[in-house]
Amino acid sequence: MAIACSAIFSAAFVAAFFVSPSAVAQSPQEMGIVDEKPSEGKFVEIAGKFMVPYTMTIPGTRVEIQMIPIAGGSFKMGAAAPDAADDVTPQVEVAVEPFWIGKYEVNWEQYQSYMAMDTAFKKMAKTGLRKVTAEDEVDAVTAPSALYEPDITYEAGEDPDQPAASMTQFAAKQYTKWLSLISGQFYRLPYEAEWEYACRAGTTTKYYFGDDDGKLEEHAWYYDVSDDQRHTCGELEPNPWGLYDMYGNVSEWVLDAYTENGFDDIAGKSLTVEESFQKPKKVYPRLLRGGSWYSEVDYCNSFARLPTDDKLWKEEDPNYPKSPWWYTGEEGLGAGMRLVRPYKTPKTQLEKLAFWDADVPAISRDADNRIESNGRGAIGIVDQQLDEDIAAIED
């Protein structure tokens, strides 16, 4: 499969996602925070205020994303039993700060709003609008190339409410940058510790529902029960904190690298989330959690860790360099994502960029090569006026 630009995302497709800015009202930066204690429902008290669930609308669209507040706390990350998994890691005590997390995995409707930027950025470039310069390149976001053979990517499911899949970690991070800059709120991928903390939801067992493998099919779409398909987000039982599909459907990106020695280097310590972070230093292997529709049962629990592969995950992509945004191999077709918004937002733009942009030069070079040399993918400046400019070029 060649990952290249095509007419899939036409001007009509962009218009289908981006509507008049006046059609959608956006809440301020304090979205999800209230002054008075809610009389019902989930909430987290912090600093005299209350974090509450909220629904945000992607600016310029009618596409919604639901976020759930998670209280801070400490937990033991990793497998407790020595024979629990092939890549068993010693447990490590981690202190977690409060955050919001997606109630569901990012679905196709939400991700295709970002995919539509491939067409939008190219149209803007032709008009000279939002030209990327050295002064504003910190606000530049790459849009993934249009799918040359979408049947492969969508073979396991393409319905708007099914989880988006096949994106690389870089593409997932760029999605969070795009969403952050267009909304004025800070979103990112979860740290591995945050993901496991949210998944466990206060439990210490193999699954958040206990240790009984026979109950997994009530909570997860995995290889034995998925019928080789991704399924609508939220069809099965949620975890105790109201999060759906933490196991199965799609494996979920975290910010960390996969390390063969697991937590050996940090075991036996009490750490913050940031201290437990295992920063990627090379393109492979990266890390996903939770297992997917394509995964065996051993990868669909609270501690299993799935590494990316530098050959198999892009084996159907004949191009060089291979796409920095898409996977084409079968295992990669199960890669997806879930959003996090921390209560404490990074103070500087440089700190934010560390969560959004490429963390090794090879990824940036591949993206630049695809965009500049082959016209595959696009780059554009993103801010809270982007939806208005998109609407203007469509008029």
Which domains are present in the chain?
11-394 (3.90.1580.10)
Q: Which two tokens stand for residue 353?
A: 């960029």
pTM: 0.92
Contacts of 344 (CB under 8 A, 6+ apart): 97
| 15 pLDDT higher than 70 | no
Which runs of consecutive H residues, i.e. helices, occur in the chain?
11-17, 108-115, 117-127, 150-154, 169-183, 192-200, 273-276, 349-356, 361-368, 374, 386-394
d(CA 40, CA 109): 30
CA distances from 356 to 103, 179, 187, 352, 383 (A): 21, 11, 9, 7, 15
Nearest to 26 by CA among 62, 67, 68, 69: 62
Task: Express each pLDDT in 216-244 by its tens digit.
Answer: 999 999 999 999 999 999 999 999 999 99
In the prediction, which pLDDT does 330 show?
Answer: 87
The residue type found at 279 is K
Angle at 22 between CA 20 and CA 28, to 5 degrees: 125
In the prediction, which pLDDT does 228 show?
Answer: 96
Task: Express each pLDDT in 76-133 by its tens digit.
Answer: 999 865 544 455 567 999 999 999 999 999 999 999 999 999 999 999 999 989 989 9
Q: Which residues are paired to 57 by β-bridges? A: 64
d(CA 381, CA 395): 20
Q: Which two tokens stand for residue 349?
A: 């733009």
Task: Express each pLDDT in 318-359 by its tens digit.
Answer: 888 899 999 999 889 999 999 999 999 999 999 999 999 999
Sign for the pseudo-dihedral over CA of 271, 274, 280, 286:
positive
Rg of the chain, C-alpha, whole Å? 20
N- to C-terminal Cα separation, the chain: 35
Asked whether the beta carbons of 140 and 381 are under 8 A apart, the reply is yes
Number of other CB atoms surrounding residue 18 within 10 Å: 28
Q: Which two tokens stand for residue 392?
A: 């203007």
